[in-house]
Amino acid sequence: METTFDLIVIGAGPGGYTAAIKAAQSGLQTAVIEERECGGTCLNRGCIPAKAMIHASSLYREIQEAEQFGIFASDVKYDYGKILAYKEETTASLSQGVERLLKANKVELIRGKGVLQKDGTVVVKSGSEESVLQTRQVLLAAGSKPLIIPIPGLDLPGVLTSDELFRLTEVPDSLLIIGGGVISVEFASIFQALGTKVTIIEAMPRLIPNMDKEISQNLRMILKKRGIDIHVGAAVQSVAQKETGLISTFFEKEKEIQIDSQYVLCAVGRCPNTDGLFAKGAQPDMERGRIVVDDTFRTSMENVYAIGDLIQGAQLAHTASAQGVYAAERLAGKTPEVDLTIIPGCVYTDPEIASVGMTEDMAKEQERAVTVGKFIMSANGKSLISKEERGFIKIVADAESGVILGGQMMCARATDMIGEVGTAIANRLTAHQMLKAMRAHPTYNEAVGEALEDIFGSAVHVMPKKR
Query: Could you list the active site residues?
Result: 441
- Rounded Cα distance, 342 and 347, in Å: 17
Burial class of residue 341 in the structure, from the number of CB atoms within 10 Å of its CB (0-12 exposed, 13-18 middle, 19+ buried): exposed
- Sheet strands side by side (includes 113-116): 4-5, 129-135, 122-126, 113-116
d(CA 100, CA 354): 31
Report how far residue 409's alpha carbon sits from residue 345's, in angstroms, rounded to the nearest whole number: 10
CA dist., res. 400 & res. 456, Å (int): 12
- Going through 207-254 in order, the beta strands assigned E by DSSP cover 229-232, 234-242, 245-252
**DSSP structure class, residue 66:** G
State how far the Cα of 209 lies from the Cα of 363, in Å rounded to an integer. 16
| Integer angstrom CA distances of residue 32 from 17, 128, 229, 259, 297 | 7, 20, 44, 46, 18
3-class secondary-structure state, position 160: strand
Burial of 357 (0-12, 13-18, 19+ CB in 10 A): buried
Contact indicator for 306, 284 with CB cutoff of 8 Å: yes
- Residue in 138, 149, 150, 36 with CA at minimum distance from that of residue 95: 36
Is the bond into 442 cis (omega within 30 degrees of 0)?
A: yes
Q: Report the C-alpha gap between 235 and 323 in whole angstroms.
A: 35
* Strand residue runs (E) in 340-451: 345-347, 353-357, 370-376, 392-398, 404-410
How do the residues of the chain divide into helix, strand and coil, expressed in percent and rounded to 5?
35, 25, 40
Q: Is the dihedral of CA 372, 376, 379, 382 positive or negative?
A: positive
Which residues, at least 6 apart from 369, have a Cβ–Cβ distance to it below 8 Å? 363, 398, 399, 400
